[in-house]
Amino acid sequence: MAGERRKIDLDAWTPPELDAEPKDVLTVKKYAERWYTETKGRHKPRTRQLNRGYLDNVILPELGSVPLESLTVQDVRRWYASLDHYPTRNANAFSLLRTIFNQAVDDELVPANPCRVKRAAVKTRVIEPVALTAAEIRQLADSMPAQWRALVLVAGFGGLRWGELTALRRSDFTLTESDCSVTVARAAVRMKGHFVVGPPKSKAAMRTVPLPSALRPILVAHIAEHAAPGRGGLMFPADTADLLHDNTVRPRFKRGAAALGHPKLRFHDLRHSAATLFAQAGATLADHMVLMGHTSSAMSARYTHSTAARNRSLVEGIWE
């Protein structure tokens, strides 16, 4: 009776069959759609767009018609095993399905969560990131057009995400004799052909990142020559004065990376590079999480990488 009352409260109850008409079964699709609607105010637009894609293209085509209370661990395991080899997408889709069923458990619609495939939510890298040295970051910046050199330096020594970089305003930088830092207060994402600017990825991503003091004169010169006018002007505007698109920067970035001997370098690898430099400089795990804007120690661990030179230094050190 308590379970039936809970279904009534959630508007999921259907009366007993009084005739031959089929019962309106609460399927995975119906409940997932309800969950998606109810989470509108909790998730950012980009997250909702991704979740919509996982539901429509990965989860619901096979599992949508299954009655919610009938989905078993074996069903989920077979579904996951049948997916094409897209590790990150599959891990995210599994995590989303597990989250939806966690809510169903809380709603007392199912006795247990059937999403219990071991390591299914673990993301495995398809492309191993590249961590540049400080000298390589400076070389890469020098190879870029003048208006993008500071962009590469802030990314490589500050570890900001692309969306955080492109949304930066002049007022986000503190460039005094005693302080050289940047405050991340917003981020930009591109959705359906236009940019959307909003809060960063998480509360932890709203942070102030100290920058090497050697960057101060470079940033001052950049503001004078390339930033949009006014305190609220974009720090790294496109030629159209709009937000900068990564496709605009990518060709020159790839040429510069190839000249360095890293033809597979991605712009996001500058964030990996900064994370590695922070760790090698002696940052504690807590320091690292704050600098990178991470919410978990596991995420910080994913972004730190050793280098051959660092390994050689450590090995030589154990002989002494």
Give the catalytic positions in this structure: 161, 268, 271, 294, 303
What the block records as the tokens of 294 is 């991470």
How many angstroms separate the Cα of 151 from the Cα of each of 124, 209, 226? 29, 15, 11
User: Which residues pair with residue 210 across a beta bridge?
Assistant: 181
SS3 content of the chain, % helix, strand, coil (to 5): 50, 10, 40
CA atoms within 13 A on the CB side of 167: 21
Nearest alpha-carbon partner for 244 in 236, 255, 254: 236
DSSP 48-99: HHHHHHHIIIIIHHHHTTSBGGG--HHHHHHHHHHS-S-HHHHHHHHHHHHH
Determine contact, residues 304/288, Cβ cutoff 8 Å. Answer: yes
Kindly state the tokens that stand for 114: 């059937």
Strands (E), the chain: 173-175, 180-184, 187-191, 194-198, 207-210
Q: Which residue has the tokens 């767009």?
A: 49
At 31, list the tokens.
């409940």
Answer for the pair 205, 187: CB distance below 8 angstroms, yes or no: yes
